Amino acid sequence: VAGSSVVFGATHFQALQFPALAAAGVVFALLAVRTDRLGPAIVAHMAFNAATVASIVWGPA
């Protein structure tokens, strides 16, 4: 879980956002491990991406 979380954060190439991205990676990895399925982690990743896009599009000006 720790290794995949670090890789998740590092592959997004956002130095300032690395801690938050690594934390998201922990959540996604734990979802996959605890459910023994990738589906929940994929859905969580999609929701995370959707929230990011929404904050960019409709966030504070």
Q: Is residue 61 over pLDDT 70? A: no
CA distance to 21, 51, 61, per residue, from 45 (Å): 11, 10, 25
CB 25 within 8 A of CB 7: yes
Q: Is residue 58 over pLDDT 90? A: yes
pTM comes to: 0.72
Q: Which of 15, 18, 23 is nearest to 44 (CA)?
A: 23
Tracing tokens 């690395």 back to the chain, one arrives at: 18
CA distance to 5, 18, 54, 61, per residue, from 29 (Å): 7, 16, 24, 33
Q: Is residue 11 over pLDDT 70? A: yes
Domain limits, the chain:
2-58
